Amino acid sequence: WPPATGLASTEGEGHARAWRMACVNVTGVEVLDNPSRFESPLKFSIAFECLSAIADDIEWKCTYVGSAESEAHDQELDSVLVGPISVGSYKIEFTAPAPDAAKIPPEDLLGVTVLILSCHYQDREFVRIGYYVSNEYDDQELRDNPPEQPDLSRIVRNILADKPRVTRYPIEWDERVPAEGAHEQLVGTPHSQYAELVAKTGGDADTDTAMHEPAHSQLHY
C-alpha cells in the first residue's frame, strides 16, 4: 500500500495524525471459485489487520453494477459485520448471493461490468476494491448467436481478480470531531466507478492497483 494521505486539521498535530492513520488495513483479497456460473454465489477470502483498537464492528459490503447507464440497477448483494476487533491480523470468508438477473437490463447481462467490495466503519467507507467482471456464454455458438431469452445456466462469470483497483479514504475513526472536507470523500458510488473503478475524490483518497499478500498469522472467523 502507498502511504496514507491525511486531511488538514485545525486541531493540532495529534489530531492530524489521527486522521492520517488507518486503524484497519486490508492486506489481501482472494476471489474464490472463480470463474464460476453466473448464478453461483460470490466468495472472497479477505485478510486485514487492525493497527489500533476500535470501538465498533467493521462492515463489508458487496455491490454489483448492473448497468453503465444508471445506478438504479446497482445491487448490494450482501453485507457482513465483523467484530469485536482488537489489534492483530484477521482473515474472513465473505459469501454473497449472485446478482438478480431480473434487475439487470437484458442488454447489460452479458459483457463487462464492475463488482465492488467496500468496508465501512460507523457508516463511513474507508476502503473500496473494484474488479472488472466478464459475463459470457460457455459455448462459442451461443456467444455468436445469443438467445433472445438469456440462458443463465450457460453464462460464466469471470472476475478479473489479478487487476483490482483499491481506493482508500481517510475517515474519522472513534473521534467524532468534524473536519473540513470529511464528507466530500464519500460522494462516490459503485456506479461512478464503472469506467475507472475509483470515486472522484480529488487528492483525498489513495488509489493502488495491488495489495500485499495476506498475513500468515491470522485469526479465523
Arithmetic mean of pLDDT, 147-166: 95
Cell of 18: 489521527
Instruction: Report, as an integer, the average pLDDT of 28-53.
Output: 97
The pLDDT of residue 21 is above 70: no
Strand segments (E) across 33-185: 36-37, 42-50, 58-65, 75-82, 88-96, 111-121, 124-137, 155-159, 165-168
Contact 24, 128 (CB under 8 A): no
Using a cut of 0.85, tell me whether the model's pTM lies above it. no
State the Cα–Cα distance between residues 119 and 91, nearest whole angstrom.
Answer: 14
Section 45-49 average pLDDT: 97
102-150 pLDDT, tens digit per residue, is 999 999 999 999 999 999 999 999 999 999 999 999 999 999 999 999 9
Whether the CB-CB separation of 24 and 119 falls below 8 Å is answered with: yes
Average pLDDT, the chain: 78
Confidence check: pLDDT of 157 > 90: yes
pLDDT greater than 90 at residue 188: no
Is there a contact between 128 and 166 (Cβ–Cβ < 8 Å)? Answer: yes
What mean pLDDT is predicted for residues 189-209? Answer: 46
3-state class (DSSP) for residue 136: strand
The DSSP bridge partners found for residue 48 are: 26, 90
In this predicted structure, the answer to whether residue 173 has a pLDDT above a threshold of 80 is yes
Structural contact between residues 58 and 24, judged by C-beta atoms closer than 8 angstroms: yes
Cis peptide before 147 (omega within 30 of 0): no
Position 151 pLDDT exceeds 80: yes
Dist CA 58 CA 126 (whole Å): 10
Predicted confidence (pLDDT) at residue 6 exceeds the cutoff of 70: no
- Whether 72 has a pLDDT exceeding 80, the answer reads yes
Q: Which residues of 85-118 are buried (b: 16+ CB within 10 A; e: fewer)?
A: beeebbbbebebebbeeeebeeebbbeebbbbbb
pLDDT number for residue 216: 31
